[in-house]
Structure 1
Amino acid sequence: MKVILFAPNIDSTDVGEALIAYKWAEKLSEKVELTVLAFQRPGRPFLAEQLPQAEVITWPEPKLFLRFERFNSGLKLGYPLLYRAARRWLRQQMDNGRYFDIGHQLMPQAARYPALFYGLGIPYVVGPLGGSLLTPKHFISETGTDSWFTRMRVIDPWRFRFDPWLRRSYEEADLILGVAPYMQETLGAIPLKRFEAMLELGVDNLAPKRLVGEQAGLRLLHVGRGVRTKGLRDVVRAIAYLSDLQDVTLTSAGQGPEIDLARKEAEKLEVLHRITFLGQVPHDKVRALYDVSDLFVFPSFREPAGGVLYEAMRAGLPVITVDYGGPSFVTDDTCAIRLPVSTPEALAKDIAKAVRNLYQDRSRLKAMGSASRARVVTEGLWESKITRLVGLYKEVLTGKLH
């Protein structure tokens, strides 16, 4: 099968979307005849060397955009340039008689960018798309740490209704992938041919099997970027409702403006002695944290995906999260307690209640940990995900033949 994969940045030495795109490309190149179209970022290893089993076509990413890394990461400033260059290359190839069975626009993940393959006569897939989740209304007053371009998500519903370029390119896609089922509703204004939920993240293998909750107390872990929506402040408040359980402790791994606010909240609530704020932690050390914790508490209330949930579940950790967005899809009732998102006060109390229940019911805690590993095996391993994706490609092509 000849597959052409498009993403602005693909890089095994990077983080975020670039690293995720690399994992998809690497695994796909083992299953199909893969051509990759992407930027080559200055100072990074050549993408052709990173993907030796694929044909790699790159264009240099403008250095100007890299001066504003966070801004560029959020808005994909170079996308129009890459889009035009890649379409020009594709037309030239097709004019010369070359064909591709299927095109796949893997990234950007945000559903704001028209699809490269629209109008070129190639069956194509877009996604997994994510984002566009709105902040629950009772949490808005506490999300002042959001960047202004993050808040621009409020215009996404308007674009899905009225942006003809975006709408046409999604309408004509043979398959739209979303990071979770909520994306089908989010894109409801666009008549899609077919939608499938598939988280963009995966794991290579499982951590060594172990039993959680074998010792006294509970060691809670929260991992996430230091912004309000990741729910760290809600976990801190929950600790204050567990004053009778002094052997319940919390470790936070993450960096950002929310961390100092969460620390001040802990001081105010007189629970700082039970919480360790580690700041930014290298990935290998984060994995070590999963291995020494008993319970992963991640009430991220505007989470489109939730890759850290897979990492925690890979290590056999039971989960407390929210029944909203990506976490609701990544987990199920066997491995997680999923809480409603109503108000900050209610969420903190619900987290505390869930922790207390698991503190008192160690058999349930252990069963949830085992269920986490089992769910990752069926849903989260890269091998499983790529096998499913290639199967979807074949279904698209079979549908075209009919």
Structure 2
Amino acid sequence: MGERRKVLMSAYACEPGRGSEPEVGWRWATEMARYHDVTVVTRANNRSVIEAALASMPPPHPGFLYYDPPAPWVRWKGRGVPVSVFYALWQWGVRRKVAPMLGGFDLVHHVTFNSFRQPGYWWQRQPPVVLGPLGGGQICPWAFLPGFRSRLIPELFRSLTVLSAPWWPQLHFSFRSAAVILVANADTARRIPARYRSKVRTLLETGVTPEQVLPLRPVRRDGPVRVLWVSRMEKIKGGTLAVAAFARARRSEPRLRLSMVGDGPDAGAVKAAAVRLGVASAIEWHGRVPRDQLPFLFQSHDVFLFTSLRDTSGNALLEAMAAGLPAVTLLHHGQAEIATDETAIRVAPRDPESAANDLAGALVTLARDPGRRQRMSEAARERVIRFYVWPRKAEVMNRIYQEAWDAGAAAGGSGCAKG
């Protein structure tokens, strides 16, 4: 396994069992603790959940440092201070808290939040710094923005910050100091200023556990063809696009059925679209379901529909592939890199009308071709096993750490705190 070294990991979001970024922070911490002596600095309000989980896990465990800004800032966050402002304050405070300890570590690894616009304040050469995997470089296709309605201005503002970020001085400090800059997708890689791109490596920020890789089941050849959509219902997830595509597909293939799993601020609009398009009775609405029920849903459906209009990766798509579901997706952002033409039919998101038509055509194609569904099912599961299970990803990250140490040594620093 090699020499164990001391790694300081910055993971604002780090909680087991939560999904999304908290789960990403937790998985990187626990997986890399198998290779090195990892100390994670995270939010103080994560402490009880983390310590309960550690008590039931076999060693080796990561160690944890807990930090929150002064109490007034925590209260102000609960009263509407933007998360990005609070997070920047947290990162600055963490940097000051651990500054006296940095000489005791061999490497600093910034993990979460994974936005390339806020990679922390690790502006030192030694110990070497690994950033990421960073995401957030995606922009919702402009043609879809009019459908955002009340969310149009926030989404437009976010898009403008993504476009302007490469000129922010603090990002140049971070990228100049980093030994390696990991990015989760090609969109984010393009946002890294050209002078730092020699440091850029691509690695998806998330993964699945070996337990989430499910046995393949025989493809159903008769009866209804069941399509599954899983996401939080908000504008960027494209719920109304999914319903529009399903409605058009049903005109050609009435055997299709759709299950929509998730809840959120856009749920009313999605359900209203289903009523307007005359397909509400062909849709099963599950609302939000516990994570331990998702494997059953994956295995009881035939096709996975993923319509996110802006996403660093797409955890639900990855989990569906691990369960052997062939997919219909948009050909952009993280989903374009997770899925391939062997595992999904991928549709260019040119505009809402053409995307709905093309997604509908893809659903009809898969509904009528069980042999293709079988081949895609096998390829999807194999791709996850090869690239996206957490132990495999940890092997890759360990090689990235070694690259950072080698770069630090070549730059003339020891990059090592023996203990």
Query: Would the TM-score normalized by the shorter structure come out above 0.5?
Result: yes
Specify the code of the residue in structure 1 equivalent to 2:242: V
Size of the aligned set, in residue pairs, is 398
What is the TM-score of this pair, normalised by structure 2? 0.88
**Cα pair 2:139 2:162 within 8 Å, conserved:** no
Q: CA deviation at 1:329?
A: 0.7
Q: 1:46–1:377: structure 2 CA closer, same or farther, 3 Å change rule?
A: closer
1:212 maps to what in 2? 219
Match of 1:24 in 2: 28
Show structure 1 runs of 5+ residues with no match: none
Q: Distance in 2 between matches of 1:102 and 1:172?
A: 12
One-letter identity of the residue aligned with 1:107: T
In structure 2, the residue matched to 1:224 is 231
Spell out, residue by residue over 1:105-143, the C-alpha distance to the aligned partner (whole angstroms, 9 max, x if none).
001111222433212522111111112322212111101
2:317 and 2:127 map into 1 onto residues whose CA distance is 35
Q: Distance in 1 between matches of 2:371 and 2:181?
A: 40
Residue of 105, 108, 119 corresponding to 1:100: 105
> Which deviations, in whole Å up to 9, do the C-alpha atoms of 1:76-102 show, x marking residues without a partner?
4433443333323333124xxx43221
Asked whether 1:155 is paired with 2:163, we answer no
| One-letter amino acid of the structure 2 residue matched with residue 31 of structure 1 | Y
**Structure 2: stretches of 5+ with no match in the other structure:** 411-419
- Would you tell me which structure has more helix in proportion to its own residues? 2
Residue 335 of structure 1 corresponds to 343
Note if contact 1:220-1:248 (Cα within 8 Å) is conserved in structure 2.
Answer: yes
Aligned ranges 1:94-243 → 2 under 5 Å = 94=102, 98-119=103-124, 121-144=126-149, 146=151, 150-157=155-162, 159-188=164-193, 191-205=196-210, 206-241=213-248, 242-243=250-251
Name the CA shift for 1:118/1:147 in 2 (closer, same or farther; >3 Å): farther
Give distance in 2, aligned partners of 1:130 and 1:327. 13
- 2:264 corresponds to 1:259: no
Return 159-168 or 274-283, whichever deviates more: 159-168
Change (3 A) 1:323 1:238: same
Distance change in 2, residues 1:119/1:293 (3 Å): same
Secondary structure of 2:245's partner? helix
Instruction: Please state whether the residue corresponding to 1:44 is helix, strand or coil.
Output: helix
Query: Structure 1: how far apart are the matches of 2:263 and 2:53?
Result: 32
Structure 2 partner of 1:284 = 292
What is aligned with 1:360?
368
Structure 2 CA distance for aligned equivalents of residues 286 and 146 of structure 1: 29
Q: 1:62 to 1:233 in 2, by over 3 A?
A: farther
Deviates further, 356-365 or 155-164? 155-164
Q: Quick check: 1:7–1:38 contact (8 Å CA) kept in 2?
A: yes
Partner-residue secondary structure (3-state), 1:78? helix
SS of the aligned residue for 1:396 comes to helix
Alignment root-mean-square deviation, CA? 2.4
- Report which stretch shifted further, 16-25 or 374-383: 16-25
The change in CA–CA distance for 1:83 and 1:321 in structure 2 (over 3 A counts) is: same
- Preserved CA contact (<8 Å) 1:62 1:78: no
Mean CA deviation greater in 38-47 or 243-252 = 38-47
SS in 1 for 2:49: coil
Moved more, 315-324 or 148-157: 148-157
Comparing 63-72 and 230-239, the one that deviates more:
63-72
